Amino acid sequence: MTVTPAASAVLPDRVVVGAGPLTVEEVVAVARHGARVVLDDAALAEVRRTRGIIRDLADDTVPHYGISTGFGALATRHIPVDLRHRLQRSLIRSHAAGSGPEVEREVVRALMLLRVATLATGSTGVREETLRTYAGMLDAGITPVVHEYGSLGCSGDLAPLSHCALALMGEGEVRDAAGERMPAADALAAAGLAPVELEEKEGLALVNGTDGMLGMLCLALHDLRGLLVVADVAAAMSVEGLLGTDDVFAADLHALRPQPGQAVSAANIRKVMAHSPIRESHRTEACTRVQDAYSLRCAPQVAGGARDTLDHAARVAGYELASAVDNPVVTPDGRVESNGNFHGAPVAYVLDFLAIVAADVASMSERRTDRFLDVARSHGLPPFLADDPGVDSGHMIAQYTQAAIVSEMKRLATPASVDSIPSSAMQEDHVSMGWSGARKLRRSVDGLARVLAVEVLTAARGLQLRAPLEPAPATGAVVAALTAAGAGEPGPDRFLAPEIEVAHRLVVDGTVRRVVEEHTGPLA
């Protein structure tokens, strides 16, 4: 699965954990770019204080969940003192039951960082040395091997987090900073870290969170913000190349329906199309078309609606980043209370929402691409943008690739959060499936980047075929960037897959956005 780097955000190289809620950008900085993790001194003091509360409860004759009892449906058993370290080890070993392909390094690092952030609140009751060692694994680039399947998105992302906790104990397998797979004990030793022997409550504290799904949500938010700007650029290129009108993107028209994302998208398209000789060439009475097709005219409504959904998802992520998710938790006044905050529903819902809007933005992009290829709708362009139609097929199959991706994205838009399979002998009788929602969203984000890349590539060829008319300065800059990289120029058929990959790279590495913004100023 290809990861989509975002285009324009400036990311920190050092992230302080425990001084306040993390931001999406900080999560991305650590997960994707290896930013250093620093633990806040005041947070460490609170960790030491609340650990004292757990130690006191460990000596209590009254059973306390996660401290002196079993877990889940086995919580009715009181565990004697001499078995409590074994209790915590057994929890991690038994719950590290994932299966399937390895999860991407950046996802594992994101969930590790978010677990460190919760541990640093002091609400979980872990020891300072446990927290320091976990953070040390991140800084050393030690990434536990986590598998695709194992989380139901409730009681935390149990299996993924357990594989990380297993590595903290010096067991299981990890990848080092160079990506080499090795036993966890060897990687810890090489980094100068000692394996942790878990004490009361610590095993539970290490696995009872929504960190995996939240980490993937943060990565998706970061990436989708960049891709929605590219979607506006691609739409502008297509409207221009298909001899459409930019009049429908006027600010006063969009003010009549004050959806905030729609106004932003329309403004972006106006800026990208500004000063286009191609557009001016048909601003005459000879142009008899009254309205463009929906995929051109309604681009701001779709991409704008996606932006508003993204903003909602970002608010949910912000609440979650400010949370301490564990069960039981140590409250600020010293109580240790059971709760249901580990249920992933709030995160699961927005993960599903984002998969829906990504699929719809991609669907509209594919429709615009198809218009370029149909001689009946392209307004004077050759069939399939081919050099010698019949001998050459042009971009015919590039659209097939788009269509295949869009079809898969529509399947991925089926919500995961509406499903629930009871577990733990019916103790955990409703689960969120948020991890599954996050996994399919990652595929959807990757698909959107690829669909947009094909549209950009096709629109660039269409704009070049309008010569001697020149495109707008901003769209022309995209065409120039593509041709400089060896993609997009008209001519006889050639091996097309590498050109699609070039376009994809320029989309995901921020080049398309950057060259446009050199002419338009910042796009939102």
- Cβ distance 57 to 67 under 8 Å? yes
Query: What's the predicted TM-score (pTM) here?
Result: 0.95
In the chain, where the domains are located: 14-209, 225-520
Instruction: Provide the b/e sequence for 45-84 (b: ≥16 CB within 10 Å).
Output: ebbeebbebbeebbeeeeebbbbbbbbeeeeeeebeeeeb
Closest CA to 103 of 134, 153, 143, 162: 143
Torsion, Cα of 69, 72, 73, 79 (10° steps): -10
Number of residues that make up the chain: 524
- b/e per residue 388-427 (b: at least 16 CB within 10 A): eeeebbbbbebbebbbebbebbbebbebbbeeeeebbeee
CATH topology of domain 225-520: Fumarase C; Chain A, domain 2 (1.20.200)
**Is-same-fold flag (14-209; 225-520)?**
no
Predicted local confidence at residue 257, as pLDDT = 97
Alpha helices in 335-392 (DSSP H): 345-373
According to DSSP, the β-strands at 14-17 and 36-39 are: parallel
What was the pLDDT predicted at 60? Answer: 72
pLDDT given at position 32: 98
User: Considering 65, 134, 319, 400, which one is annotated as catalytic?
Assistant: 65
Dihedral over Cα of 44, 324, 208, 137: its sign: negative
| CA-CA-CA-CA torsion sign (405, 407, 409, 412) | negative
Class of domain 14-209: mainly alpha
Encode the chain (524 residues) as per-residue pLDDT tens digits.
444 444 456 899 999 999 999 999 999 999 999 999 999 999 999 999 999 999 888 777 777 777 777 766 567 777 777 787 888 899 999 999 999 999 999 999 999 999 999 999 999 999 999 999 999 999 999 999 999 999 998 888 999 999 999 999 999 999 999 999 999 999 999 999 999 999 999 999 999 999 999 999 999 999 999 999 999 999 999 999 999 999 999 999 999 999 999 999 999 999 999 999 999 888 877 776 778 999 999 999 999 999 999 999 999 999 999 999 998 899 999 898 989 888 999 999 999 999 999 999 999 999 999 999 999 999 999 999 999 999 999 999 999 999 999 999 999 999 999 988 888 777 777 888 999 999 999 999 999 999 999 999 999 999 999 999 999 999 999 999 999 999 989 999 999 999 999 999 999 999 999 999 999 999 99
Cα 432 from Cα 430, distance rounded (Å): 7
Report the candidate in 151, 121, 99 with the shortest Cα–Cα distance to residue 43. Answer: 121
Q: Which two tokens stand for residue 373?
A: 């290829």
In this prediction, residue 6 carries a pLDDT of: 43
Is 400 labeled as catalytic in the residue annotation? no
Q: How far apart are CA 425 and CA 99, in angstroms?
A: 21
**Kind of pairing, strands 181-183 and 147-149?**
unpaired
At 61, the amino acid letter reads: T
Residue 4: the pLDDT is 45
**For residue 389, what is the DSSP state?**
B
CB-based contact 14:35 (threshold 8 Å) = yes
pLDDT on residue 308: 98
Tokens, residue 136: 């040390």
Provide the 8-state DSSP code for 156. Answer: S
